[in-house]
Copies of this chain bind each other. A is one copy, B any other.
């Protein structure tokens, strides 16, 4: 494969259950030429995020599915390689939605200039980008943690969960993380500064979670569902809030064929008896004004050392399918990105 060609990853077939390599196809194509009012983007970094599993599925969702043969969607950091657009200059670094490919054209809409002086550009895909704002908006708008309350978040070493716990602490709450394996747990406790962390692989996970939450759970930021939800449910306090952000444990399953037991009655019973709020959200639901407020605050918190993050960098667009499959298995460690340009 030559760097003088474009390389694209397109959807070859809709994944059934866990995606397979063969659901993705690599295509070579000439590097496109920008027309009047267009720029040519050279992708530097591609973000891999769990929501992409929804977008390659045919099931009804919040956005139309990607069609077979389409380039897989995704947030990207890109360098402007050539510009025929008056507002954009060659060499500028921008945030774009160019998806799984090396080169893309843009008419400038949706591009955001990035300032490497504030933070490395790839943070625009993580702590300062969609995952960070997802954590901020979901936690503050729906979770509404109060000082002294207990906030629990799963996938706590991941792109969203890591930010949720740190913002909870900034707001005076107690942050309890759930992560998979001792290495991630140590990172959550020692590097991110959560008050406690529990390994969901432990055979006595539910018991350990109860011990880590002696005052119950006031906010559970839902990223995963599955057996984590079963351990959280009996610990939820009266008037607990559950922002529902992701359900990664379910993403490879067809919900219409889930075998028993039926866990809905127990969930609804607790929702009623404990007067719990479950509320789904997407990052697009929050206002632009709030996004600007988030950008300002997060940059400040980073400067003050209050907000940390970890990137899990995979080298080469060729690795994107395997890395994405691993993300759905929980094999990433931190915000997963692909370094597309060397």
Could you tell me which A residues sit within 8 Å of B by CB distance?
54, 60-62, 222, 225, 229, 244-247, 250, 253, 255-282, 285
CB contacts (< 8 Å) of A285 on chain B: these are 275
**In this complex, what residue of B is CB-closest to A239?**
B285
How distant is the Cα of A273 from the Cα of B60 in the complex, in angstroms?
A: 8
What would be 9 A-B contacts, judged by CB atoms less than 8 Å apart? A60-B273, A244-B271, A256-B266, A258-B266, A264-B267, A271-B280, A276-B280, A277-B280, A278-B278
B268, A261: Cβ atoms closer than 8 Å: no
CB contacts (< 8 Å) of A268 on chain B: these are 222, 225, 244, 247, 250
Interface of A is mostly: mixed
A261, B263: Cβ atoms closer than 8 Å: no
B255, A265: Cβ atoms closer than 8 Å: yes
The 3 A-B residue pairs with the shortest CB-CB distance, nearest first, are: A260-B260, A255-B266, A258-B262
- Beyond the given pairs A256-B261, A272-B280, A275-B281, 5 more chain A to chain B contacts, judged by CB atoms under 8 angstroms and listed by A's residue number, are A246-B272, A259-B261, A262-B262, A277-B279, A278-B278
How distant is the Cα of A154 from the Cα of B279 in the complex, in angstroms?
A: 22
A253, B265: Cβ atoms closer than 8 Å: yes
How distant is the Cα of A124 from the Cα of B61 in the complex, in angstroms?
A: 45
How distant is the Cα of A222 from the Cα of B268 in the complex, in angstroms?
A: 10
B275, A276: Cβ atoms closer than 8 Å: no
CB contacts (< 8 Å) of A270 on chain B: these are 280
**In this complex, what residue of B is CB-closest to A238?**
B62
B265, A262: Cβ atoms closer than 8 Å: no
How distant is the Cα of A245 from the Cα of B268 in the complex, in angstroms?
A: 10
Given contacts A279-B277, A279-B278, contact A250 B267 (CB under 8 A): no
B60, B261, B275: the one within 8 Å of A279 (CB): B275
**In this complex, what residue of B is CB-closest to A259?**
B260
B269, A247: Cβ atoms closer than 8 Å: yes
How distant is the Cα of A278 from the Cα of B267 in the complex, in angstroms?
A: 11
CB distance from A12 to the nearest CB of B (A): 25
B262, B277, B282: the one within 8 Å of A260 (CB): B262
How distant is the Cα of A311 from the Cα of B255 in the complex, in angstroms?
A: 41
**In this complex, what residue of B is CB-closest to A256?**
B266
**In this complex, what residue of B is CB-closest to A265?**
B255
CB distance from A311 to the nearest CB of B (A): 26
CB contacts (< 8 Å) of A255 on chain B: these are 265-266, 269
Given contacts A259-B262, A262-B261, A264-B263, contact A269 B282 (CB under 8 A): no
CB contacts (< 8 Å) of A253 on chain B: these are 265
B260, A271: Cβ atoms closer than 8 Å: no
A247, B272: Cβ atoms closer than 8 Å: yes
CB distance from A231 to the nearest CB of B (A): 14
Among A245, A264, A269, max chain B CB count under 10 A is at A264
**In this complex, what residue of B is CB-closest to A62?**
B273
Among A273, A282, A285, max chain B CB count under 10 A is at A273
Given contacts A258-B260, A261-B257, contact A275 B282 (CB under 8 A): yes
CB contacts (< 8 Å) of A276 on chain B: these are 278-280
A274, B280: Cβ atoms closer than 8 Å: yes
